[in-house]
Amino acid sequence: MTKPTYAESAEAVVAALQTDTSKGLTASAAQTRLEQNGPNALAKGKKKTLLQRFLDQFKDFMIIVLLVAALIAGFVVHEWADAGIILAVVILNAIFGVFQESKAEEAIDALAKMATPNAHVRRDNQVVTIPSTELVTGDIVLLEAGDVVPADLRLLESANLKIEESALTGESVPVEKTVAALTADNVGIGDRTNMAFMNSNITYGRGVGVVVATGMDTEVGRIAGMINAADETTTPLQENLSQLGKSLTVMILVIAAIVFAVGLWRHAASLPEMFLTAISLAVAAIPEGLPAIVTVILALGTQKMAKRHALVRKLPAVETLGSTEIIASDKTGTLTQNKMTVEQTYYDGELHPATAGVSGDNPLMRIMNFANDTQVQEDGTMLGDPTETALVAFGQGHDFHRDTELEELPRVAEVPFDSERKLMSTIHRLPDGRYFVATKGAPDQLLKRVTQLATGQNVRPLTDTDRATILATNTGLAKQALRVLGMAYRYLDALPEQVDSDTIEQDMIFAGLVGMIDPERPEAKDAVAEAKAAGIRPMMITGDHQDTAEAIAGRLGIIEPGDDAAVITGAELDQQSDEEFAENVTKYNVYARVAPEHKVRIVNAWQKRGKVVAMTGDGVNDAPALKAADIGIGMGITGTEVSKGASDMVLADDNFSTIVVAVREGRKVFSNIQKSIQYLLSANLGEVLTLFMMTMLGWDILAPVHILWINLVTDTFPAIALGVEHTEPGIMKQKPRGRKSNFFSGGVGQAVIWQGLLEGLLTLGVYFIAITWPIHTTSAAIHADALTMAYATLGLIQLFHAFNVKSIHQSIFTVGIFRNKAFNWAILASFLLLAVTIVVPGFNGLFHVTHLDLVQWAVVLGAGVAIIVIVEIVKFIQRRLKK
């Protein structure tokens, strides 16, 4: 067949597949095709073993540097404790990463689980039930309400067949299926009304179809292939950490080499001693705690998000949210409630909001509930077509007791819905022996059978003006993306011998119109507004019709109402090349009637422009785009297991506003990581500068044990505590960082440099004071005191500086000096660990330090306070200049 299957006639498809519609395939022919094409199952993606996932954690450049540092610390410097700590940090980080990502490849498994276990087929002129995995092309499959479609089928028969395809196409209501060939070119998957797709659900009627595709050749199989082929995206956090590790390593090695060479030139120490000093400097300057600190901060962020119903499956996703610039959201079930709801009614010549209700004695209310096949379960849940359940729910919400009414006016006959006449009628016996006919359906078709009009308690002939008014009202409601049904009725004195459309649906009385829609979530509009205020561009990507998508987007504020230029369909998108689309992508905020490959294409187009893209979705059709996006966000309640498996984060409450909450948390997480990095690097730069200048000036230099102990006790606890700082005011009024920013953006890079220099200069200043105004007379005692004071200053000044870093730009008095209890305890613990090496007897010899008197301690503490004062003055000046 040269044409697409949907464009061929049913007879042509059957002939091409060499099958028989009445007898089906023979068992031998089916077995041959099964051997040739394989089972009707989805290929599973190649999974990594637990060991492979563990080893992958060590591919990061910073981790490799730390492993080298651990080996040097142990085998060269013989600081086995420091080496052990570094190794422990690296291994724990790897274990945590494996644990978080152990469920990252569940999408294909979830797709396979969705497949129906059995199928009813014709084989050898008999109807048999076989496992769906044994289906082959050419099999004749029988479908009825409640079935799951077992493969892709070209429909041969359709008796009021409706199929729910929202998980595949995004269509919010079941699709009425036909048999006739489609003549249009490039028909989108949502408009292929003569096809039934694997894993979709039969909600109404029955049908027969011939299998045209199985396994990976089905539409669901194509999605599975796209998921398998999708490359894992690197998050901005991972990119920044890798870049930071490489830059630091180069700088540290250069500085260590200079210190080593200058030290030998100045005869500051022997060659082995200078080598140990240079290596110690390199080990100390590397922020070995950074991976663990980042992991802890991210893990704490995941816990807070979980409490707000955002479940993070991959740690870096926490921070990625904070840099998100585009949120490409599915419509059905994400921005909307995925539940048809009555929004407006029209009767007595006027439109009424749903809140106004309809009185129980109004024929409109009876027709809504009588011409309806919805079944209400004991627990109150409703089974049936979403449109019909919406009508029953409307009645329940306005005190219409359907069960009681049907007991008094039982259904005695019906004229079922037919896709050609687009009407449905039920007949109910009245207490007086007459019969009430309730008819609902397409307004234009209904009006052809209406001759009278109900106005209040009166009935009068329907005029041409009335007819024009009703049609205009129908058009107006449809333009609002409402699904409109017309309602009419009549009374019969007796049932005709032949109950059909010709005898029942004639000379009817028009009762009114009902407009329904899958409404937007109440909180979604505010969430969209907050996202826009935060500089994030919300977009809608849906398989639904253009009018519906445009109306919902306008109501949510994603586009201005009536802004047609911001809306594009999948068919229109196909007409643009990748280059053209890359030029035009900024024009569009709403994509309607799209296929899975369109969603991936949209995500990729924005990523090529350097944007960080978040994609939300709940259907099978969303999975490839969820995996391709920088952060995929699945729905926990309405979402398929496929979409959850492809996601980085799952919304447990399916609430769009939860995304905004998660973005706020993500921004806080990045801000806190940035604070920790500023603290760590400025402290390490202070250490490097101190050692470098002492070497250049020919002073006694700090021993390796001094540098390593300061690095150990002042780095870890305060840096982690900075990671749990509270959210700073106005964080959601800032523009997204984007992909091009890094940890040194926003003035952090300059702050690291000048604050690190300040720490080093203050330390050198204390050393200079100690040797210029000594309290001892011997040279050895003077230098011992000076080294001890420099050692104490270098440690304490970092702890004092941690208070400055509680906010990169704002005053510590604004964010609260002692608000973070974890931070307070961390500073106290680090101070005690540092002080014990000086004041507790026995440690002096081990650390080559002396006891200090009160004056000396006052000088040390004065330097610590000085850095707070100086940094706060500079931040104040920066804020004033910015204003």
The per-residue pLDDT for range 734-745, each reduced to its tens digit, is 888 777 777 777
Dist. CA 664–CA 747, nearest whole Å: 21
On the question of pLDDT at 842 being above 80, the answer is no
Domain locations in the chain as residue ranges: 5-44+109-229, 236-300+669-882, 320-337+521-660, 346-517
On the question of pLDDT at 775 being above 60, the answer is yes
Active site residues: 330
Q: What is the pLDDT of residue 152?
A: 93
On the question of pLDDT at 390 being above 90, the answer is yes
Question: Residues 279-291, buried b or exposed e (16+ Cβ, 10 A)?
Answer: bbbbbbbbbbbbb
Q: What is the pLDDT of residue 104?
A: 35
Q: What is the pLDDT of residue 31?
A: 93
Q: Note whether 474 and 486 are within 8 A (CB).
A: yes
Q: Note whether 621 and 542 are within 8 A (CB).
A: no
Question: CA gyration radius for the chain?
Answer: 36
On the question of pLDDT at 767 being above 80, the answer is yes
* DSSP state, residue 174: P
- At 103, the pLDDT band (50, 70, 90 cuts) reads very low
What average pLDDT score do residues 764-769 get? 94
**Of 480-484, 514-518, 702-706, where does mean pLDDT reach its minimum?**
702-706
Give the residue, 97 or 862, on which the prediction is more confident. 862
Q: What is the pLDDT of residue 65?
A: 61
The per-residue pLDDT for range 66-89, each reduced to its tens digit, is 677 667 667 765 667 656 756 765
Most confident of 5-9, 103-107, 165-169, 490-494: 490-494
- At 855, the pLDDT band (50, 70, 90 cuts) reads very high
What average pLDDT score do residues 260-268 get? 76
- At 111, the pLDDT band (50, 70, 90 cuts) reads very low
Dist. CA 835–CA 792, nearest whole Å: 8
Q: What is the pLDDT of residue 167?
A: 66
Dist. CA 35–CA 48, nearest whole Å: 29
Q: What is the pLDDT of residue 832?
A: 92
Domain 236-300+669-882 part of CATH 2.120.10.90? no
Select 320-337+521-660's CATH number: 3.30.1360.70, 3.40.50.1000, 3.30.2320.80, 3.40.1380.20. Answer: 3.40.50.1000
On the question of pLDDT at 277 being above 80, the answer is no
- Amino acid at the residue 433: G
Half-sphere exposure of 279 (CA within 13 A, CB side): 20
**Of 246-250, 555-559, 859-863, where does mean pLDDT reach its minimum?**
246-250
Give pTM, 2 decimals.
Answer: 0.68
**Of 105-119, 187-201, 499-513, 714-728, where does mean pLDDT reach its minimum?**
105-119
What sign does the CA torsion over 749, 233, 246, 867 have?
positive
- Percent above pLDDT 90 for the chain: 35
Q: What is the pLDDT of residue 227?
A: 65
Q: What is the pLDDT of residue 722?
A: 87
Q: Which of 90, 55, 59 is nearest to 73 (CA)?
A: 90
**Residue 880 exposed, middle or buried by CB count within 10 Å (0-12, 13-18, 19+):** exposed
End-to-end CA distance of the chain: 70
Q: What is the pLDDT of residue 235?
A: 56
**Of 263-272, 659-668, 858-867, where does mean pLDDT reach its minimum?**
263-272
- Amino acid at the residue 531: A
In the chain, helix, strand, coil percent, each to 5? 55, 15, 30
Give the residue, 617 or 598, on which the prediction is more confident. 598
| CATH architecture of the domain formed by 5-44+109-229 | Distorted Sandwich (2.70)
On the question of pLDDT at 360 being above 90, the answer is no
Dist. CA 848–CA 698, nearest whole Å: 19
Give the residue, 236 or 562, on which the prediction is more confident. 562
- Write out 597-638 in H/E/C secondary structure: HHHHHHHHHHHHCCCCEEEEECCHHHHHHHHHCCEEEEECCC
- Percent above pLDDT 70 for the chain: 87
Cite the DSSP H helix spans in 409-463: 443-447
- At 13, the pLDDT band (50, 70, 90 cuts) reads very high
Q: What is the pLDDT of residue 105?
A: 43
Q: Give me the CATH topology for the region 346-517.
A: Calcium-transporting ATPase, cytoplasmic domain N (3.40.1110)
- At 172, the pLDDT band (50, 70, 90 cuts) reads low
On the question of pLDDT at 345 being above 90, the answer is yes
On the question of pLDDT at 106 being above 90, the answer is no
On the question of pLDDT at 110 being above 70, the answer is no
What average pLDDT score do residues 102-120 get? 52
- At 428, the pLDDT band (50, 70, 90 cuts) reads very high
Q: What is the pLDDT of residue 284?
A: 58
